[in-house]
Chain A
Amino acid sequence: MAKDEYAAREFKVVGTRPLRPDGIDKVTGRARYGADISAPGMLVGMALRSPHAHARIKSIDTSAAEVLPGVKAVVTRADFTHQPEDNATADILDNCMAGEKALYDGHAVAAVAATSRNAALAALAAIKVDYDVLPHVMDVDDAMKPGAPVLLRGRKQESVPAEMSDNVLTRTQYGHGTPEEGFKKADLVIERNFKTAATHQGYIEPHACLATLGADGQGDMWVCTQGHYMVRNTCAAVLGLDAGNLRVTASEIGGGFGGKTTVFLEPTALVLSRKSGRPVKMTMTRDEVFRASGPTASTSIDIKIGMTRDGKITAATGDYRYQNGAYEAMNGTLGAMTGFAPYDLEHVRTTGWDVVTNRPKAAAYRAPGAPMAAFAVESVIDELARELGLDPIDVRLKNAAREGTRSAYGPTYPAIGLEATLEAAKAHPHWAAPLGENQGRGVACGFWFNFGGDTCVSLMINPDGTVSLSEGNPDIGGSRASMSMMAAEELGIPMEQVRTIVADTASLGQNEVTDGSRVTFAVGLATIKAARHAIEIMKERAAMTWGIEADAVEWVDGAAQPAGPNAGKFPPMTIAEIAAIASNTGGPIAGHHEVTAEGAGVSFGTHIADTEVDPETGAVKVLRYTVIQDAGKAVHPAYVEGQLQGGAVQGIGWALNEEYVYGADGTLQNPGFLDYRIPVASDLPMIDPVILEIPNPGHPYGVRGVGETGIVPPLAALANAVSRAAGVRLTSLPMSPPKVLAALKEA
Chain B
Amino acid sequence: MSQIHVKTTINGDATEFLCEADETLLDVLRDRLDLTGAKEGCASGDCGACSVTLDGRLVCSCLMLGAEAEGCEIDTIEGMADGETLHPLQQAFLDHAALQCGVCTPGFLIAAKALLEKNPDPSEEETRYWLAGNLCRCTGYDKIIRAVLDAAKTMRETA
Tell me if chain B binds chain A.
yes
Q: Are A680 and B132 interface neighbours, CB within 8 A?
A: yes
Interface residue? A494 (CB, 8 A): no
B53 at the interface (CB under 8 A from A): no
In the complex, whether B135 has a CB less than 8 A from a CB of chain A is: yes
Binds B, one of A139-147, A252-260, A517-525, A583-591: A252-260
Knowing A204-B136, A674-B46, A678-B137, say if A642 contacts B41 (CB, 8 Å). Answer: no
Contact flag A678-B39 (CB < 8 Å), given A27-B94, A687-B140: no
Q: Does A152 contact B (CB under 8 A)?
A: no
B residues in contact with A117, CB < 8 Å: 27
Q: Which residue of B lies closest to A286 (CB)?
A: B42
- The answer to whether residues A255 and B137 also contact, given A205-B101, A206-B40, A672-B42 and a CB cut-off of 8 A, is yes
- Judge whether A28 and B100 touch: CB under 8 Å: no
Nearest CB of A to B13, in Å: 15
Q: Do B93 and A27 touch across chains, with their CB atoms under 8 A apart?
A: yes
* A649 beta carbon closer than 8 Å to chain B: yes
Alpha-carbon gap, A22 to B105, bound state (A): 13
Of B20, B43, B47, which one neighbours A118 at CB under 8 angstroms?
B20
Contact A28 B80 (CB under 8 A): yes
Complex CA distance for A14 and B129, rounded to whole angstroms: 36
> Given B47, B97, B101, B146, which contacts A252 in the complex, CB threshold below 8 Å?
B101
Cα–Cα, bound, A35→B26 (Å): 13
Interface size class of chain B, counting residues whose CB lies under 8 Å from the partner chain: 35 or more
Interface centre among A33, A118, A681, A682 (most CB of B within 10 A): A681
Residues on the A chain within 8 Å of B93, using CB: 23, 27
Q: B137–A202 contact, CB under 8 A?
A: yes
B35 CB contacts on chain A under 8 angstroms: 29
Task: For B127, list chain A residues within 8 Å (CB).
Answer: 681
Q: Which residue of A lies closest to B81 (CB)?
A: A28
CB of A36 within 8 A of chain B? Answer: yes
Docked complex Cα distance between A62 and B37 (Å): 37
Which residues 27-50 of B sit at the A interface, judged by CB distance below 8 A?
27, 30-31, 34-44, 46-47, 49
> With A204-B136, A645-B140, A650-B137 as given contacts, are A28 and B42 in contact (CB-CB < 8 Å)?
no
In the complex, the answer to whether A33 meets B39 with C-beta atoms within 8 Å is yes
Contacts of B125 in A (CB 8 A): 682
Give which listed residue, A641, A646, A672, contacts B138 with CB less than 8 A.
A646
- Per the 8 Å Cβ criterion, residues 97-111 of B in contact with A are 97, 99-106, 109
Contact of B145 among A22, A202, A257, A686 (CB under 8 A): A686
Rounded to whole angstroms, the CA-CA distance of A22 and B93 in the bound complex is: 12
CB–CB A20/B41 < 8 A: no
- Cβ contacts under 8 Å, A684 to chain B: 128, 140-142
Whether A501 is near chain B, meaning CB under 8 Å from some CB there, is: no
Within residues 641 to 666 of chain A, which ones have a CB less than 8 A from any CB in chain B? Answer: 641-642, 645-646, 648-650
In the assembled complex, the CB of B33 is this many whole angstroms from the nearest CB of chain A, namely 12
CB–CB A32/B36 < 8 A = yes
For residue A672, which residues in chain B have a CB less than 8 angstroms away from its CB?
42, 44, 46
Q: Return the contact of A204 from the options B41, B44, B145 (Cβ within 8 A).
A: B41
B95 within 8 A of A: yes
**Nearest-CB residue, chain B, relative to A638:** B97
A286 and B135 within 8 A (CB): no
How far, in Å, is A650 (CB) from chain B's closest CB? 7
Contact A203 B97 (CB under 8 A): no
Is B77 in the interface zone, CB < 8 Å from A? yes
Contact yes or no, A645 B143, CB < 8 A = yes
Interface: A476 (CB within 8 A): yes
Contacts A20-B94, A203-B137; is A33 near B128 (CB within 8 Å)?
no
Tell me whether B135 and A680 are in contact (CB under 8 A).
yes
- Interface hits, A358-412 → B, CB 8 Å: none
* In contact, B135 and A204 (Cβ under 8 angstroms): yes
Cβ-closest chain A residue relative to B47: A673
Q: A681 and B144 in contact (CB under 8 A), knowing A24-B86, A27-B109, A31-B102?
A: yes
Assess whether A3 is interfacial by the CB under 8 Å rule: no
1/0 per position for B119-138, CB-CB distance to A under 8 A?
A: 00000010111011111111
A23 touches B94 (CB 8 A): yes
Question: Is residue B154 contacting chain A, with contact meaning CB distance below 8 A?
Answer: no
Within 8 A of B (CB), among A187-206: 201-206
| Contacts A19-B95, A646-B137; A254 near B102 (Cβ below 8 A) | yes
Provide the bound-state CA to CA distance between A19 and B31, in Å.
31
A28 touches B94 (CB 8 A): no
- In the complex the two chains form, what is the Cα distance from A254 to B41 in whole Å? 10
B78 at the interface (CB under 8 A from A): yes
The answer to whether A478 and B81 touch (CB under 8 A), given A29-B37, A31-B102, is no
B90 within 8 A of A: yes
Residue contact A19 to B94, C-beta cutoff 8 Å: yes
B137 touches A28 (CB 8 A): no
Q: Is B61 an interface residue (CB 8 A)?
A: no
Instruction: Report A622 CB to chain B, min CB distance, Å.
Output: 11
- Cα(A206)–Cα(B49), bound, Å: 12
Contacts of A12-58 to chain B: CB distance below 8 A: 17, 19-20, 22-24, 26-33, 35-36, 38
Q: A255 contacts B103, CB within 8 Å? A: yes
Partner of A642, one of B20, B77, B78, B138: B138
- Given contacts A27-B90, A642-B97, A645-B142, whether A681 and B131 have CB atoms under 8 Å apart is yes
Report the nearest B residue to A684, measured CB to CB.
B141
A residues in contact with B31, CB < 8 Å: 38
- Residues on B lying within 8 angstroms of A by beta carbon are 20, 22, 27, 30-31, 34-44, 46-47, 49, 76-78, 80-81, 86, 90, 93-97, 99-106, 109, 125, 127-129, 131-146
Known: A28-B90, A646-B139, A678-B135. 11 other contacts (CB 8 A): A24-B94, A29-B76, A33-B103, A35-B36, A202-B137, A255-B137, A477-B138, A645-B142, A646-B138, A648-B140, A672-B46
Instruction: Name 18 A/B residue pairs within 8 A (Cβ), A-sorted.
Output: A20-B94, A26-B99, A27-B86, A27-B90, A27-B102, A27-B109, A29-B76, A30-B78, A117-B27, A204-B49, A204-B137, A206-B41, A257-B137, A286-B44, A478-B100, A642-B143, A649-B140, A681-B136
